[in-house]
Chains A and B, each alone.
Chain A
Amino acid sequence: MQAAKLWLSRIHELPLRESVAVMNVCGGHEHSLSMLGLRAVLPKMVRLIPGPGCPVCVCPEEDIADSIALALHGGVTLVAFGDMLRVPMNAPKGEIKTLAGARAAGADVRPISSPQEAVAIARAQPERQVVFFVAGFETTTAPVAAMLAEGVPDNLSVLLAARLTWPAVDMLLQDKDSALDALIAPGHVATVMGAEEWRFVADTYHLPVAVAGFSAVSLLAALYSVLRQKLENRPFLDNCYAELVQPQGNAKARRWLDEVMEVGPANWRGIGIIPASGFFLRGAWKRYDARQRFDVLAAPRRRIGEMPPGCDCAAVVLGKLTPEQCRLYGKACTPMHPVGPCMVSDEGACHIWWQAGLRAA
């Protein structure tokens, strides 16, 4: 912690003259810095804005609806990373809204924490179809690609809602109204894809950018870097997580992604279609696509793909509102009864702020 305190004192010594808005892209960063209580010890002029890096938050509503329909009516075992069980879809009152609700109604829905578990569950019951509902960014998608490349039983398929991180940031920065001054780039994503993926922030948008890890030291070093870049008007790509992040990332993981996945336009919940932002199974791998294997998909319904009424998750994901500015925060929407997806996951800004004790006024 001594090193972290040193970075903090260096930040305080910077002659900041105006407010600086720094977006931390990754939900893991938001979690770490909220749990460290970092906002309270930084200079008032530094504003940390949580960004779009929460895969649970941006997973399309229609994908959640499809997963619930499959679990309820497909005669399958549906496995998913734990958080996805609690994300609500738009369903009329009294109807099943979440995978957890489907499980309570008798569907075989199981939370898992790794692709290996999905394979083990499929191997253990060869007579039954197992569907792996995958929402995640590059960090999650690479192990899923590896799982498929290494061979999976025929009774396993994937319902993919996997996304690339940088296109969402690119879209944010294209926005003329964007008031962002600097970017902390996601450490885990950069571990897989490489720090170089974030060079566009400095080159195209002339904004300071630094890749950070999840410790106080790494986060504060990255923050110091972007603040100093901003002060000196000298934006470049810095890497403050060099112990793990290579310029080109993890070659093996990227090879797996290239082999199994292709990239195309994809929908982000509450945000819309972002070009070249979704992973899809490529060529022969399409036979593992649950959408091709099953025709049990969600029936048409009202508010398809939309955020729940009154929910500001989309604005929170885009950094345009902070969680406590949403009317539902802490009132209709709490971790026990989440309305919007940002209140569900450990990477969702609303859930993190609530866990860090921040209550609506």
Chain B
Amino acid sequence: MRIALFATCLADTMFPAAAKATVQLLERLGHEVVFPEEQTCCGQMHVNTGYQKEALPLVRRYVRTFESCDVIVAPSGSCVGSIRHQHAMVARQAGEEGLASRAETVAGRTYELSELLIDVLKVEDVGAYYPHRVTYHPTCHSLRVLRVGDRPLRLLRQVRGLDLVELPAAEQCCGFGGTFAVKNADTSTAMLADKMRHVLDTGADVCTAGDASCLMHIGGGLSRLQSGVRTVHLAEILASTEAGS
């Protein structure tokens, strides 16, 4: 299958390993990956901070960049959530009904990585090998906006060598929330403290999730604690093989 990658601005700029791993994983599974270079950002930060007018060109850009693609994947539950639940709304708010319906069509072909693997490519065992003790944080937008459910866990359970440990109070937000982490830094930090305590309680050496943004938050806190626990994107685990990826 020919699959277009939406890398997301955060992974493209700060966490390229997550986007690279998505490419390597899909190619290993026998698919062709394309990367339309006109892509930048889905506009979620603007929409969620109250700048819908500013987000409009970014919605238009996403639609224009990807509307010729049959299947689009992004290694982020949050960005896909925004594409699926906000793009058409932003267009409608601006009175652009035509753009809104195009946005709906493109959103319908845009998948978060675990959705693509399980629902479209019908694969649970991706042939990965990752000999670590891992705990999975289901990010809020994967869980409650996209409803990915246990798809990421089903993928992780098939990874050879991986010791999956359950995260207590997993469904509670890590406290990132985009600009929330800056505008309400103290509350965000209090939420993060509890999330980190739960991660450390598992004894895992790796905390994974489907969103680089939440991992940046949790990882930034764990790094400050010098805890030794690493944050690794789900795509990177699934891309790992015995031979090295």
Does A associate with B in a complex? no
Binding site for B on A (CB under 8 A): none
